[in-house]
Amino acid sequence: MTSNNNRVAIVTGGSRGIGRAVAERLVADGQHVVIAYAGNETAAKATVGAIENAGGHGVAVRADVADEAAVTALFDTAEQRFGGVDVVVNAAGIMILKPIVDLDLDEFDRMHRTNVRGTFVVAREAAGRLRPGGTLINFSTSVTRAKLPTYAAYAASKAAVEALGPILAKELRGRDITVNTVAPGPTATELFLKDKSDELIKTIAGQNPMGRLGRGEDIAEVVSLLAGAGRWINGQTLFVNGGAF
């Protein structure tokens, strides 16, 4: 495996939230990072600026993760800019919370397009282009185990992601490439905090044995392990939630 100073990572959803924390941590580990973002150019530029201010190398690429041509172009950019791809982190995702009876099928399709198709498209490209010693890290959620009302469609989309990982790990036998899935619990990001009252957030934090919500850095720490020294972890889903579920 090449040293971190020569390694190149693609982080989808890397402009905000957990994705940004992951991108910044991988840069701190010495990797060059290509951030894929869906539409918020301002946030993407801010993340690249933070990376460069920290002495790292990063570039932002607008890409719809569910679009095959866009994902191909994303990998092309990483190879042209930095020489190859060693780490792919599939952090892009959307969450729509409603009871099953109230969820519009257009909302269902939009969520699954990003969370399931998007993960699959990026994973397929990664399978063909990761260098030996590389790793693919997909993102699920601890909600797949919590079985909370209003989370059914979201949890179903992430359960599909969990199913993909161990199968792809076996299909890549002999390539020296690991495939794992990280499943965060409640984490203080814009995606999680949206439309939740302060009282509800306090309640959720208090239910955790650690007495708080997760932080982006908590999740990034695990990604850093999987993207670096954790080579004997393969085909697994790691629940990173402070013991919440």
Q: Is 37 a catalytic residue?
A: no
Neighbours of 59 (CB within 10 A): 16
37, 75, 82, 154: which is the annotated catalytic residue? 154
Q: Are 13 and 51 in contact (CB under 8 A)?
A: no
DSSP character string of 102-162 = G--HHHHHHHHIIIIIIHHHHHHHHHHHPPTT-EEEEE--THHHH--TT-HHHHHHHHHHH
C-alpha to C-alpha distances, 102 to 97, 98, 99, 112, nearest whole angstrom: 10, 6, 5, 17
Active site residues: 154
